[in-house]
């Protein structure tokens, strides 16, 4: 074979290998500085996927180019393997929580009862969710939604799957069958969470028409939920409503958050049937402990 052809092939292989390691080098730095080209190259798999699915290219590029939007591997870790740590909701129906909820319910009874009358979801259930989710807006989250979703969208990349597998090894799981099962789960969840993050960015693109603020200024939980009621962008588009008639849908506003919760639950099967109530709450947060906490707290308000 001609030596020049061999040299060209060698260079192409080298270039390919270098491209594979670009994300690895960049994510360790966790900071692109002012190098927008490097940043866009890093997120290119996400950009390509979003545009292929119909996202506005200007929206995507502007969102990524925003200085607040940065990659952080912690969102890949927690969204892929965070389920391994069970959440404890028991503190949400202790004496202090009940006292706080009773005071809030009394102060906002007119608003809460208006939502109950319109949607058929009890005011005490709405109160419980607002407390459990954000303590009535006191803790709405400090995670930039762009960081959450653009980072998690890369979860299916080999280098980040490997990162989560390494974290799994550190847990020193001696049961081989359990380890193999968890390893399989990491691969499955990496693909699932990557697709999920892409979908949430697409919903943010759609949500722009309703949101009272620019999407790049939204902060919320590590899972990308925002507002007093902690809606994901997909939930915002589907079930958020204008609760006070000001022609805005602002989930950081109590009226919109309360009415949004009621609309969410009734839209997802809430009825007088006990199991329907549980199913609707489980749809809101897929944790039976969460469901138990909401119902227990509501019964004590």
pLDDT digits (tens, 9 = 90+) for 148-206: 999 999 999 999 999 989 888 777 777 777 878 888 999 999 999 999 999 999 999 99
The whole-number average pLDDT for the span 81-107 is 94
pLDDT at 13 over 50: no
Q: What six digits make up the tokens of 118?
A: 């319109």
How far, rounded to the nearest angstrom, does the alpha carbon of residue 199 sit from its chain's CA centroid?
11
Q: Does domain 90-140+227-300 have CATH number 1.10.530?
A: yes
Question: Across the chain, what does the average pLDDT equal?
Answer: 90
Place of tokens 């309360």: 258
d(CA 231, CA 151): 19
Q: What six digits make up the tokens of 71?
A: 């990659």
Q: What pLDDT score was predicted for residue 181?
A: 87
The whole-number average pLDDT for the span 26-49 is 77
d(CA 182, CA 283): 24
Task: Give 197-227 pLDDT, tens digit per residue.
Answer: 999 999 999 999 999 999 999 999 999 999 9
Q: Which of 216, 253, 267, 220 is nearest to 67 (CA)?
A: 216
User: Among positive and negative, which fits the CA dihedral 110, 242, 250, 89?
Assistant: positive
Give residue limits of the domains in the chain.
Answer: 3-71+144-205, 90-140+227-300
């Amino acid at each position: 074979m001609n030596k020049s052809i061999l040299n060209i092939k060698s260079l192409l292989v080298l270039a390919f290998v270098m491209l594979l390691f670009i994300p690895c080098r960049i994510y360790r730095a966790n900071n692109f500085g002012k190098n927008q080209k490097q940043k866009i190259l890093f997120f290119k798999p996400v950009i390509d996927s979003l545009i292929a699915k119909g996202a506005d290219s200007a929206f995507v590029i502007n969102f990524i180019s925003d200085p607040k939007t940065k990659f952080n591997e912690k969102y890949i870790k927690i969204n892929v393997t965070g389920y391994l740590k069970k959440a404890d909701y028991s503190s949400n129906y202790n004496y202090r929580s009940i006292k706080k909820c009773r005071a809030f319910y009394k102060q906002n009874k007119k608003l809460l009862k208006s939502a109950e009358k319109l949607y058929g979801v009890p005011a005490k259930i709405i109160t419980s969710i607002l407390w459990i989710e954000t303590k009535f807006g006191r803790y709405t989250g400090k995670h930039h939604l762009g960081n959450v979703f653009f980072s998690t969208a890369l979860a299916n990349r080999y280098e980040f799957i490997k990162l989560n597998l390494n974290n799994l090894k550190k847990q020193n799981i001696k049961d081989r069958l359990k380890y193999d099962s968890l390893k399989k789960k990491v691969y499955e969840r990496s693909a699932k969470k990557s697709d999920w993050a892409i979908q949430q960015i697409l919903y943010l693109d759609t949500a722009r028409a309703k949101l009272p603020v620019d999407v790049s200024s939204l902060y919320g939980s590590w899972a990308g939920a925002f507002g007093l009621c902690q809606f994901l962008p997909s939930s915002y588009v589907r079930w958020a409503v204008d609760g006070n008639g000001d022609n805005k849908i602002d989930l950081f506003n109590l009226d919109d958050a309360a009415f949004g919760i009621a609309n969410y639950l009734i839209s997802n099967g809430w009825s007088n049937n006990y199991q329907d109530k549980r199913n609707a709450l489980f749809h809101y947060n897929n944790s039976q402990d969460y469901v138990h906490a909401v119902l227990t707290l509501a019964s004590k308000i």
